[in-house]
Amino acid sequence: MQQLGSLTQPGQFQRALREGRRSSLPGVVAYVSPSSAGLRLGLSVRASGAVQRNRVKRRLREAFRIAAPLAPAGADIVVRADERASVTPFQELEELARRAVGGEAS
């Protein structure tokens, strides 16, 4: 099973946003671009408070961890979300993650 690493540099985020394939839900957009550095996830969450922001991050990390076996060997994934993601059913977040890493854009 692939481990999910982290995107840490602004340039990594920018490249994924510029070159990535896009999948979306209301309040959540995932960009996936090929990478030679393994499977890495970067999150950008805008929410009104730290508790809500961290809840959204935990839910997104888990959804993409579950979908990681479907991902190609190397991919950078950037997920941009707002506070609407905190009330999105988890099954929808999982489906977004599966679509994003599986190659289906919407």
Kindly tell me if the per-residue pLDDT of 104 is higher than 80: no
Query: What is the DSSP secondary-structure string of 9-57?
Result: SHHHHHHHHHH-EEEEETTEEEEEEE-SS-EEEEEEEE-SSHHHHHHHH
Task: Give tens-digit pLDDT for 47-99.
Answer: 889 999 999 999 999 999 999 888 877 899 999 999 899 899 999 999 999 99
What is the pTM assigned to this prediction? 0.88
Average pLDDT, the chain: 89
Per CATH, the number for 5-102 is 3.30.230.10
